[in-house]
Amino acid sequence: MQTQQRIYIAENYLRILRADPNPTLATEIYYVTLAARYGVPLERIAELTGLPLNRVSILIGD
C-alpha cells in the first residue's frame, strides 16, 4: 500500500476515534499508535483526535 493511502486510512481511523463519545484508553492507544506507525505526524494526530500533543506523545511512547 502506498504511503499516502496509509496516511489517509489512518486519518480516517482518527476521525472515528474523535467521534466516539466515550473511548477507552486501549482504543486511544490502538488508533494513535496505528496512525503513528502509518506515518501520520504527531501534530496531525493531535489535531484530528482533539488530544493534547503531550498526551499523543505519551500514548505512542515517544
- CA nearest neighbour of 51 among 34, 39, 29: 29
The model's pTM is 0.85
Q: If the chain, 62 residues long, is cut into consecutive pieces of 10 residues, what is the mean pLDDT of each piece?
A: 86 91 92 93 93 92 80
Q: How far apart are CA 53 and CA 26, in angstroms?
A: 18
Q: How many CA atoms lie within 13 A of 56 on its CB side?
A: 21
Q: How far apart are CA 17 and CA 54, in angstroms?
A: 18
The predicted structure's pLDDT at residue 33: 94
